[in-house]
Amino acid sequence: MRVGTYAILLAFFSAPAFAQVPVDFAGLGFGVGFAFDDSLTADLVSPDDVTVVDGVLRVAKVSNVQAGLVFESHVTFPVRNWLAVGPYFSITPGADELVKAVGLGFLFELNRPSLNPETNLFESAPVSFNIGVGLNVLFEANVLRPGFINGVHVPDDGLPYVNREKAVLQLMSTIGF
């Protein structure tokens, strides 16, 4: 066997030992979970749900809430032995693009502290449950053009929706590590 094979086997069989070592990224925490984005105006449309029939706009479905996977990074400051708060930065991956949206907000980090038998003090658990509220910017949101209302005659000058950036309210729930 070559040296590279030995290194891979050593890393594989010793991974549980390395997983016990706490890693400090200058106080940064990371999380992965789900986020709900609410536009508060019910103007997000899918291009498949918008048609113009005999000059009249027909919208099959308008939504104001989207859900999806989210990755976040946060810095928290302890308030109680089970609660920490602080800012977060989130990234929402897209299906067709690498990054669909980015967000900033305020995060509540909940963890179950464990008792250290050596010091008889409570310590934070390595895994936490996080709840965040903030502002998310969708890079490519399909919204109805100004003046275009469902069931109303529209001018024949292009698409009834436009693709643009849109700021939305974000509510997310992640597992932090």
Note whether residue 44 is domain-resident.
Answer: yes
Tally the domains of the chain.
1
CA dist 32 to 9, 74, 123, Å? 29, 11, 22
Give the per-residue pLDDT at 176: 85
Please tell me the predicted confidence (pLDDT) of residue 1.
42
Q: What is the mean pLDDT of residues 25-29?
A: 72
Q: Would 12 be classed as within a structural domain?
A: no
Q: Is residue 6 part of a domain?
A: no
Residue 14: inside a domain, yes or no?
A: no
Domain contains 151? yes
Q: What pLDDT sits at residue 74? A: 92
Asked if residue 20 is part of any domain, the answer here is no
Does the residue 83 lie in any domain?
A: yes
CA distances from 53 to 50, 144, 167 (A): 10, 16, 31
In a domain, 89, yes or no: yes
Domain encompassing residue 141: 26-176
> What is the pLDDT at residue 50?
74
Report how far Cα 95 is from the mean position of its chain's Cα atoms: 14
Whether residue 57 has pLDDT greater than 50: yes
Structural element, H or E, at residue 105? strand 99-110
Strand partners, 14: none
Query: Using one digit for the tens of pLDDT, what is the confidence trace for 90-143?
Result: 999 988 888 989 999 999 998 876 667 787 666 666 788 999 999 999 888 777
Give the residue, 26 or 173, on which the prediction is more confident.
173
